[in-house]
Amino acid sequence: MALAEAGVRGRLLRWPRVLLFGDSITEYSFQENGWGTYLAERLVRKCDVVNRGISGYNTRWAKLILPRLITESTGADSIAAVTIFFGANDSALKELNPKQHVPLEEYAANLKSMVQYLKSVDITADKIILITPPPLQESAWEKACLAKGDKLNRCNATTGQYAQACVQVAKECGTDVLDLWSLMQKNQDFSSYLSDGLHLSAKGNSFVAAQLWSRLEHKLSALPSLLPYWRDVDHTNPEASLL
């Protein structure tokens, strides 16, 4: 059978997508042992895990990009889940990092705007997970800043305010939320979760992966494996199994 003929006979295979949208903590999630890699491994043959992390970005810029990533005409119906993971840059101190800083009230409004946009293209609230920024280990991040000739441009208390705003937006919009800022500081020293005071270490990636998977697993558990197990393919008539 010609490939063209097989393509006509067979139904187009469309993998559902899990979209990871965020800043550098999302962009780096596909590195070795990253939390995005963990999700992709767990969802092989069920979903494509798509990394749309953009280092250095904040919610002011992200809300402009989101409609270019997902529209009704480009397969919003195939979205199985979306994570929105911003705040580490928004919460930068205005006087020391005005380019990335976004005021707290605007940050919350931007998150809400992104959730509302997703709902407008028929991505329901149960498919959306907001993720707060992780806590900031100030002494380690100060070393990273000084190495670049900068001053400490973030503080953990301020990051916590943005995390609380993220949690509140999730509550108002009816979405799930992963409050990393609180969870990582619960009864423990959180510094081991961070590689430079801001970005995740190997332990931090494992922590995020486990916490996020606990929220995604029940959402995605009903998704079937795509294409039959190889032992179940009729080798005498593979078209019957595969088309």
In the chain, what are the domain boundaries?
A: 17-219
| pLDDT for 59 | 98
What's the pLDDT score for residue 10? 60
The catalytic residue positions are: 24, 196, 199
Q: What per-residue confidence (pLDDT) applies to 37?
A: 97
Q: Give the model's pLDDT for residue 72.
A: 82
User: Which residue positions in the chain have pLDDT lower than 50?
Assistant: 8
Q: Within 13 Å of residue 33, how many CA atoms lie on the same side as its CB?
A: 8
pLDDT at 4: 54
Rounded Cα gap, residues 230 and 235, in angstroms: 9
- Give residue 185's pLDDT: 96
Per-residue model confidence (pLDDT) at position 15: 87
So what's the pLDDT on residue 221?
A: 78
> Residue 167: is it exposed, middle or buried by C-beta count within 10 angstroms (0-12/13-18/19+)?
middle
The closest of 209, 194, 214, 177 to 41, measured between CA atoms, is 209
CATH class of 17-219: alpha beta
Q: Express each pLDDT in 87-132 by its tens digit.
A: 999 999 999 999 999 999 999 999 999 999 999 999 999 999 999 9
